[in-house]
């Protein structure tokens, strides 16, 4: 399968769903980073993000969604298949990933990998494309300390690369800025990662942490709730 960006190579994970691996060199040393757990890109997306999205929708139908890291679009595809008439803001630093995903939504079959992503999420790709016509997807460039947010968001799917690749996104300064500017007072924040700093910053901003195991073999992930979601998500 062809990769939609030449910064990445394609790989299959254990559940046969595709992922992309970043080919990068830091100080001349190869530091590859995969977008998903080798145990299954689709299964990991369902577990870390799908459950939080569904729980959010069970509390409130009208929600703004924000995804950090479009990648292959697993999370955006899942959200769009579940909602109608909602805002989905996605941030991605790689312009080829943004452009090729947009082209696929608009009907291009140049990169069949997006059809495979749908298939591995047990979704029909034509249904998914149509669902994007019924929602407002905004594909934004990479996040930084000057990023602007058009609205506050209720469901945050924070799927950034690890701190060794995307260091800024895991700093207290960035997380403070992001939570203050991008998160609604009623908010669910979910991510595969679980660091002391992230948990501390979330609590500082009024989130409550809900214990949640990591995806297949990883010790913990992070699920935090604020406002309306506190009483319904316990």
Ligand X SMILES: C[S@@+](CC[C@H](N)C(=O)[O-])C[C@H]1O[C@@H](n2cnc3c(N)ncnc32)[C@H](O)[C@@H]1O
Burial class, 75, CB count within 10 angstroms (exposed 0-12 / middle 13-18 / buried 19+): buried
121 binds ligand X (CB under 6 A): no
101 binds ligand X (CB under 6 A): no
DSSP letter for each residue of 149-216: -SS-EEEEEE-PPPTTTSGGGGSHHHHHHHHHHHEEEEEEEEES---HHHHHHHHHTT-EEE--BPST
Q: Which of 66, 97, 139, 224 binds ligand X (CB under 6 A)?
A: 97
Residues paired with 183 in a beta bridge: 153
Distance CA 224, CA 120 (A): 27
Binding mask 17-46 for ligand X (x = CB under 6 A): ------------------x---------x-
Binding mask 163-182 for ligand X (x = CB under 6 A): ---x--x-------------
Closest distance of CB 85 from ligand X, Å: 23
Residue 153 tokens read as: 């968001």
In the bound state with ligand X, the residue whose beta carbon lies nearer, of 50 and 69, is: 69
Give the footprint of ligand X on this chain (CB under 6 A): 35, 45, 68-75, 91-94, 97, 142-143, 159-161, 166, 169
């Amino acid at each position: 399968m062809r990769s939609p960006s030449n910064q990445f190579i394609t790989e299959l994970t254990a559940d046969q769903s595709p992922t992309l691996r970043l080919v990068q060199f830091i100080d001349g040393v190869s530091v590859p980073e995969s977008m998903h757990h080798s145990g299954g890109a689709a299964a990991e997306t369902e577990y870390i993000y799908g459950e939080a999205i569904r729980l959010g929708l069970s509390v409130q139908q009208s929600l703004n969604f924000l995804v950090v890291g479009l990648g292959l679009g697993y999370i955006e595809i899942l959200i769009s298949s579940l909602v109608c008439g909602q805002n989905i803001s996605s941030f991605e630093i790689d312009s080829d990933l943004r452009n090729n995903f947009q082209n696929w939504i608009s009907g291009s079959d140049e990169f069949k990998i997006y059809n495979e992503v749908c298939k591995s999420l047990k979704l029909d790709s034509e249904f998914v494309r149509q669902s994007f016509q019924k929602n407002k997807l905004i594909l934004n460039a990479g996040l930084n300390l000057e990023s602007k947010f058009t609205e506050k968001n209720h469901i945050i799917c924070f799927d950034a690369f690890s701190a060794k690749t995307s260091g800024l996104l895991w700093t207290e300064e960035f997380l403070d800025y992001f939570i203050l500017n991008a998160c609604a007072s009623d908010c669910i924040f979910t991510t595969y990662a679980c660091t002391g700093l992230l948990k501390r910053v979330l609590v500082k901003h009024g989130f409550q942490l809900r214990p949640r195991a990591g995806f297949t073999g990883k010790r913990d992930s992070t699920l935090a709730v604020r406002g309306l979601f506190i009483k319904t998500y316990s």
